[in-house]
């Protein structure tokens, strides 16, 4: 029997591990790389999509697509038709700023960086932060090109606010930023404005120890260099960027790694592009998960009916962060559905199927919480407010599997500095483990 104090110590360790994971993952490509490192360290075997797969009973494997989506699984001891797949899904991307192809330009002796808005970030939170960039660069080689990850640990960019003396109504009307003209970041100084792009590419080239001319293309994400931290009187809260949804990715991977020799075949599916609608070759709307499922079932020589029987036995948890009740804004919430920080996983329900939860799948999740001795909460959005969505309904409709939408409660979703509860993260991992064992 573990004591409450042991539970808290364990929860704090898991929360610290989450913050370390996020700080090592400032772009979705880095997030998948962090997941791969953890899986490889635990003996998971990489399966390139282009190769013929060899699967062994009880084996653990992972597949990546496009560098920012990954599916990992461990084959169970029971036959698939008997127990189905136990799957947890989450997304690797977070809303923010992405560099344009010709990002750097000069004006008034400054090198500025043009960005696109990716998904729906709270733009005002990107001002006055210690920003940098991370992502991937395609570098010319003798035989074509190779993809390399790049990350600048120092803060190399910034979006300074306009002084209040020129923006007198900012506290009454809020900070509004024109996405084209007021978002370019300041990167440095230049002798000649025309040299700006060369200077920026030179900076990337130096970091990769290559020539600027060998940079073919890049995808770079703006991130906050400030590390994650604990806060609150008892350090009961955490803050970092990208808690939505790297907290769910970390929980799912931690649970998957913890499960040795499962009865059911357990799957962890992490997708890119959720924040922009999931419709891509690598997103949850694409064929990635069904392709992996088809390859597993065909390798295990299941026929078409056996595959459908397997899917009918399967269960999917769509894990994405939930909106915690903010006491300063009571009118923003449905009065009977306050999700509280450190009070357990939140089951999200929406009659219009913005979430995949049904009464049946919610009941199934509740029984898992009870088994794991974890508290749980139920959330519904205000009826007069538009509700966000997740990968849950997409996966459920594509595969026809039973699915539930859940998440840990958090504050300031889509801010560059989000907050959540220490205990909630360990609760989520515990219930995910219970699901993989079911």
Task: Tell me phi and psi for residue 192, to 5 degrees.
Answer: -135, 120
Least distance in Å: CB of 245 to Co ion? 4
Least distance in Å: CB of 119 to Co ion? 9
**Binding residue count for Co ion, defined by CB under 5 A:** 3
Q: Which is nearer to Co ion, 224 or 275 (CB)?
A: 275
Least distance in Å: CB of 244 to Co ion? 4
Per CB under 5 A, the segment of 196-204, 238-246, 342-350, 377-385 that binds Co ion is 238-246
Least distance in Å: CB of 405 to Co ion? 11
Least distance in Å: CB of 436 to Co ion? 22
Least distance in Å: CB of 288 to Co ion? 18
Per CB under 5 A, the segment of 36-44, 149-157, 292-300, 312-320 that binds Co ion is 312-320
405 near Co ion, judged by CB under 5 A: no
In this structure, the strands spanning 418-421 and 409-411 are antiparallel
Q: Which is nearer to Co ion, 245 or 408 (CB)?
A: 245
Per CB under 5 A, the segment of 27-35, 54-62, 152-160, 237-245 that binds Co ion is 237-245
- Report the SS3 class of residue 120: coil
Residue with tokens 């992405």: 98
Using the CB atoms, write b or e for 86-100: b if 16+ within 10 Å.
bbbbbbbbbbbbbbe
Provide, for the chain, the percentages of residues in helix, strand and coil under a 3-state DSSP scheme, each rounded to the nearest 5.
35, 25, 40
Instruction: Please name which of 221, 291, 262, 257 lies closest in space to residue 37, comparing C-alpha atoms.
Output: 257
Q: Which is nearer to Co ion, 196 or 347 (CB)?
A: 347
Q: Which is nearer to Co ion, 23 or 320 (CB)?
A: 320
Q: Which is nearer to Co ion, 321 or 369 (CB)?
A: 321
- Report the SS3 class of residue 314: coil
In this structure, the strands spanning 346-348 and 377-379 are parallel
Q: Which of 27, 199, 245, 254 forms a contact with Co ion (CB under 5 A)?
A: 245
Q: Which is nearer to Co ion, 132 or 245 (CB)?
A: 245
Q: Residue 143 burial (CB < 10 Å; 0-12/13-18/19+)?
A: exposed
- Report the SS3 class of residue 245: helix
Q: Which is nearer to Co ion, 244 or 424 (CB)?
A: 244
Cis before 245 (ω within 30): yes
Q: Which of 320, 405, 418, 424 forms a contact with Co ion (CB under 5 A)?
A: 320
244 near Co ion, judged by CB under 5 A: yes
Angle 403-382-246 (CA atoms, 0-180°, nearest 5)? 50
Q: Which helix (H) or strand (E) holds 104?
A: strand 96-107
Least distance in Å: CB of 380 to Co ion? 17
Per CB under 5 A, the segment of 239-247, 308-316, 325-333, 392-400 that binds Co ion is 239-247
Per CB under 5 A, the segment of 225-233, 243-251, 333-341, 419-427 that binds Co ion is 243-251
93 near Co ion, judged by CB under 5 A: no
In this structure, the strands spanning 265-271 and 409-411 are unpaired
Kindly state the tokens that stand for 363: 């009941």
Least distance in Å: CB of 57 to Co ion? 35
Q: How many CB atoms lie within 10 A of CB 391?
A: 29
Judged by the rule CB under 5 A, the positions of this chain that interact with Co ion are 244-245, 320
């Amino acid at each position: 029997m573990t004591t409450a104090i042991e539970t808290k110590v364990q929860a704090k360790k898991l929360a610290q591990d989450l913050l370390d994971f996020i700080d090592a993952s400032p772009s979705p490509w880095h997030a998948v790389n962090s997941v791969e490192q953890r899986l490889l360290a635990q003996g998971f075997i990489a399966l390139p999509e282009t190769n013929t797969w060899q699967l062994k009973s009880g084996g653990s494997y992972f597949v990546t697509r496009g560098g920012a989506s990954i599916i990992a699984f461990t084959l169970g001891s029971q036959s698939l038709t008997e127990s189905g797949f136990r799957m947890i899904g989450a997304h690797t991307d977070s809303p923010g700023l992405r560099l344009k192809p010709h990002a750097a330009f000069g004006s008034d002796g400054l090198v500025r960086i043009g960005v696109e808005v990716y998904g729906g970030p709270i733009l005002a939170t990107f001002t006055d932060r210690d920003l940098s960039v991370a992502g991937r660069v395609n570098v010319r080689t003798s035989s074509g090109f190779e993809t390399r990850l790049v990350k600048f640990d120092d803060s190399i960019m910034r979006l300074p606010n306009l002084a209040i003396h020129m923006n007198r109504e900012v506290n009454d009307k809020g900070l509004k930023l024109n996405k084209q003209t007021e978002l370019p970041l300041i990167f440095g100084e230049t002798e000649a404005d025309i040299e700006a792009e060369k200077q920026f590419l030179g900076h990337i080239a130096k970091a990769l120890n290559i020539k600027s001319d060998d940079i073919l293309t890049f995808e770079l994400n703006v991130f906050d260099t400030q590390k994650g931290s604990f806060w609150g009187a008892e350090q009961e809260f955490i803050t970092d960027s990208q808690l939505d949804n790297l907290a769910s990715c970390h929980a799912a991977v931690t649970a998957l790694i913890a499960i040795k020799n499962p009865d059911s075949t357990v799957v962890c599916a992490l997708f890119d592009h959720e924040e922009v609608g999931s419709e891509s070759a690598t997103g949850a709307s694409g064929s990635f998960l069904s392709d992996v499922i088809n390859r597993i079932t065909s390798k295990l020589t299941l026929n078409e009916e056996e595959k459908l029987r397997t899917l009918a036995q399967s269960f999917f948890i769509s894990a994405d962060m939930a909106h915690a009740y903010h006491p300063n804004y009571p009118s923003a919430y449905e009065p009977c559905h306050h999700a509280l920080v450190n009070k357990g996983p939140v089951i999200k329900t929406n009659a219009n199927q913005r979430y995949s939860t049904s009464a049946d799948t919610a009941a199934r999740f509740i029984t898992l919480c009870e088994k794991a001795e974890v508290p749980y909460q139920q959330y519904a959005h205000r009826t007069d407010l538009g509700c966000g969505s997740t990968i849950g309904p997409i996966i459920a409709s594509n595969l026809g599997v039973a699915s539930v939408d859940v998440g840990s409660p958090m504050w300031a979703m889509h801010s560059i500095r989000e907050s959540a509860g220490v205990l909630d993260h360990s609760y989520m991992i515990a219930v995910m483990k219970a699901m993989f064992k079911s």
